[in-house]
Structure 1
Amino acid sequence: METDILHKLIESAALAIEILAVIFITCAIFYNVIKAAINFSKRSPEFFRKYKDNIGRSLQASLEFLVAADIIRTVIIEPTVQSVIILCALVLIRTFLSWSIIIESENRLPWKPKYETDSDTFKN
């Protein structure tokens, strides 16, 4: 009885994290599109790069939420060999997506340090 309640509670927590990730993606995209529309008239050279950076960071954060939900669901709720293999595949796919986002938005490889454009110092 108690394990059923705990099982449902953990399943609900994983679902809540996934819903939070979807809400985060949606809000971030709407916010950045509105911000881009407002600042479109400026047309500075940094305009498009900042837009891509903001969208990329939002997607990376939401991918972390989705991985956390998958880990909770796989490890705690359904710890079978098949579910662990599926989790590994999902983590690899999301890692690849995260790296692709970094490469696209920041024009650097994920393991390279992020430099400021005008100097060789690291950004904080």
Structure 2
Amino acid sequence: MTFTELMEHAAQGFDALGAGVLVVGLLWSVGLALRTWRSAGGRPAYQALRESFGGVLLLSLEVLVAADLIRTVAVAPTTENVAVLGLIVLIRTFLSFSLQVEIDGALPWRRAVTSGAVHIARAAGKAREASADGS
């Protein structure tokens, strides 16, 4: 197996991981929202779903960017591929920024810097609080 083939397999692995994060994250977010809905009602459940899945989307975007980086830099580093990678990174950066603003409800420089993992943890904490209050 050549280095190029190995890197292509690594990039495919990152692609699969990114897709897996989306699927598992969606299922986990829906489960969290259902649990919150039973204990606290519709609006908190919607908020839990929105925050937790938003964090999952941010995480999966980062993993998919890693796959594109590996594929472009190690597999086929042509000028055209680097330009396409730059465009992909710009689009995904805009999506990440938009998701972050949508989840936080404020621009990043007006709020403390947080990561997707913080949103997931916050949503899980709210679900636990709602469960404890409803029990």
Normalised-by-shorter TM-score class: 0.7 to 0.9
Counterparts of residues 26-45 of structure 1 (less than 5 Å): 26-41=23-38, 42-43=40-41
Q: Is the 8 A contact 1:17 1:65 kept in 2?
A: yes
Misfit runs of 4+, over 3 Å: 44-47
Q: What stretches of structure 1 of length at least 5 have no aligned partner?
A: 116-124
Aligned residues: 112
Q: What stretches of structure 2 of length at least 5 have no aligned partner?
A: 114-135
CA RMSD of the aligned region, Å? 1.7
Aligned partner of residue 40 in structure 1, secondary structure: helix
Deviation string 1:31-62 (CA, Å, 9 cap, x unpaired) is 11122112213127544323211111110010
Counterparts of residues 79-118 of structure 1 (less than 5 Å): 79-114=77-112
TM-score (normalizing by structure 1):
0.82
TM-score (normalizing by structure 2):
0.76
> Is the helix fraction higher in 1 or 2?
2
Deviation string 1:64-114 (CA, Å, 9 cap, x unpaired) is 000011011101111111001000000000001101111111101133333
Counterparts of residues 1-124 of structure 1 (less than 5 Å): 5-41=2-38, 42-43=40-41, 46-114=44-112
- Give the % identical residues: 34
| CA 54–67 in structure 1, closer or farther in 2 if over 3 Å, else same | same
